[in-house]
Chain A
C-alpha cells in the first residue's frame, strides 16, 4: 500500500516531479585525454609495462650519467670478482663492472630501438599513406617495392649494410634496421587508408572543401593510428632484438661500446664457468620486449575514442 502511494502518477502532458529530466545528465563531459588516461589505467598490464619502461629509462639515463665512461675500465685484479657495493652485479671476464655496463647497454639498446622505430614509422606512414590514398599505379609501384623489400632475407641485408659501412657504429645499425623494417608499417597503413579513403566522413570532409593533405593528416591518419601504434611497439621490441642478434653475431656494437646483444655475446664464452653473466642482459632484453608490446597494446586501446569505459568505475 505504501508503494502504491509513492509511485508517480502519470498525467498525459505533465511530467511527474520524480522523473525530472533536469537532473538526469549532469555528469561533465570528460575530455579526450582524461578518457585516455582512464582507459589506460584500466589496462593493468599496460600500466605495469609503463612503470617497467620508465624504470629502465631512468636506469639507462641516470647510471651512465653519474659514472661517465667508468663502464669501460677493465682491471686484471677484478676479473670474475663477485658482487660488491660498488659493483652490484660483479665483474666480467675482463674485469669490467657488469652493473655499469648493463646500464650503458640498456641505454644503447633503447636508443637503437627508439631511433629505428622512428625511421620505421616515418617511412612506413609516408609510403603506406601515399600508396593507400593515391591508389592506382602509384599504389602498385610502391607495394611491389614493399614486396621486394619483404622478400629479401632481412638479417643478411642488415649484415651486409653493417659490414659495408662499418661495424660497431650505432647510426649504421639504426639505419640498417630502419630501412629493412618499415614494410610492415607501410602495409598496415596502406590497408587502413584504402578503406578509410572511401569512408563517408572522408567524403564529407572533401565536400567541405578540405585539401588532400588535410584529409590525410586530420581525417584518415588518426583513425589509422591503432595498427600503427601496435606496429611501432612491436617495432621497438623487434629492433632491440635485431640489434642484440647483430651484436651477438659480432656485427653490431663491440667493445669498448656496449649493448645488450654484445654483453650476451661476451657472456656465452663463459656460460659454463660464470653463467650469471648471461642473466642481467637477458632479463633486461625480455623486459624491454614484453613491456614495449604491452604498452603499445594498452595505448592503442586507450587512444581509441570508441572504446567504452565500463560502468564499474
Chain B
C-alpha cells in the first residue's frame, strides 16, 4: 500500500445506511443431470449510493445472484435459502404483487444484451413510458414526456424523434442508453447492471460507464455492477465481491482488492490483465478451467487451479476476516503463509478450525 490512489470510496460517507443486504443466498438449479449450485451461500451488502462490483468468470453465478435479488429465477432454478433484505423489507417473503412494486421501481435492472432486451415491436419511447406508468399514476402523455426527457438525459440527441423510433433503428450503444433510460425512469434506489458494457465496443463502453457515473451522482442511487472486466470495476466500484463457482472468494473495498488482494483467485485474475507498456513473453493466466458445477471438488473449489494449493485445501477453507471489511475464503493467513495449524492437519482439526475462523458478515 505505497501508492496513494483516490477511489470513489472516499466520496461515500461511511455512515450511509445499508440499502440491500444479501445473506447466505443459495440458488440451485435442478437439472436432469443433478443439482447445480449456481449460487451457494453468497453474502454481501450494499449501502446507499454505493457501487458494488461483482466479478468472476463466466458461469460463476454473478447473473444468477442478480436475478435472485429480484426473485426472477424461473424453473428449474429455485432460491433454496438465504435472506434478501431491501432496507427493512424482506424480499424473500414478498408476494408476487409486492415484488412487482419493487421491480423496476426501487430496484431496476439493465441487461447484458441491449440488442435483444428491448421489445422489437414497440418504439423506445413507448417502452420507457410503460416502465413509468407501471409504477406511477401518470397519464399517457406525462409518461411519454418523461420518456423523452430520459432519452435526452442519457445523452441521445434529438430525443423527441428518437423516442418514436424502434429498437432496430438504433445502434447498440444507443439501445443500451435506452435501456439505462428505462431503468432510471422510475428513479430507483438500486440499479443492478448485469454486464452493461460487455456487448459494446470499447469507446462506447467508456461512454456508457461515464454516463452511469454521472447518473449515479444525479439520482443518488446505489449500483450493483456485474462484470468480468476488472477495468470496469476499477473505474466504477467502491466495494468488490469476487465470486467463483457460486461462492464469494473475496470481498473488500476496491483499493484493497487491487493493491493487496489476499485470495489466490483474485491475485490470479489481476495477474491476467495485460498492462500497457509492459513487456512479457506470455500473458499470465490461471491454469485449468472452471470446474463443472455438477462435479465440484471437495474442499476448496479453486484448489485444482491454485498455485498455493496444500493438503489442507481438501477441507473447505474458512471465510476469514483479515481486516474489518476484508474477507477472503482461503486457508492462507493474512500474511500469505500456511495456516497456523500447519499445511497438513487432520481432517477433524481442519474442519474445526475452518468453522471457528469463518465469519458471517
Contact = CB atoms under 8 A, between A and B. Distances in A.
Given A209-B104, A210-B130, A223-B121, 9 more contacts: A28-B161, A200-B113, A206-B72, A207-B70, A207-B72, A208-B103, A209-B100, A209-B103, A223-B119
B102 A204 contact: no
11 contacts: A29-B165, A32-B123, A206-B72, A207-B109, A207-B111, A208-B131, A208-B182, A209-B102, A223-B119, A305-B168, A306-B168
Contact of A200 (B70, B108, B117, B123): B117
Interface in A16-70: 25, 28-29, 31-32
B78 to A, nearest CB: 14
B166 interface: yes
A144 interface: no
Contact of B121 (A135, A136, A207, A222): A222
A206 B131 CA distance: 11
Interface of B: 70, 72, 75, 99-105, 108-109, 111, 113, 116-123, 130-131, 134-135, 158, 161, 164-166, 168, 179, 182
Contacts of B70: 207
B102 to A, nearest CB: 7
B303 to A, nearest CB: 35
Contact of B104 (A28, A208, A223): A208
A15 interface: no
Nearest to A214: B134
Interface in A166-188: none
Given A200-B111, A203-B111, A218-B130, A211 B100 contact: yes
A201 B102 contact: no
Contacts of A31: 164
A200 B117 CA distance: 5
Contact of A204 (B101, B105, B118, B161): B118
B116 A200 contact: yes
A207 B103 contact: yes
Contacts of B130: 208, 210, 218
A245 to B, nearest CB: 37
B134 A210 contact: yes
A82 B100 CA distance: 72
A206 B116 contact: no
Contacts of A211: 100
A306 to B, nearest CB: 6
Contacts of A205: 119
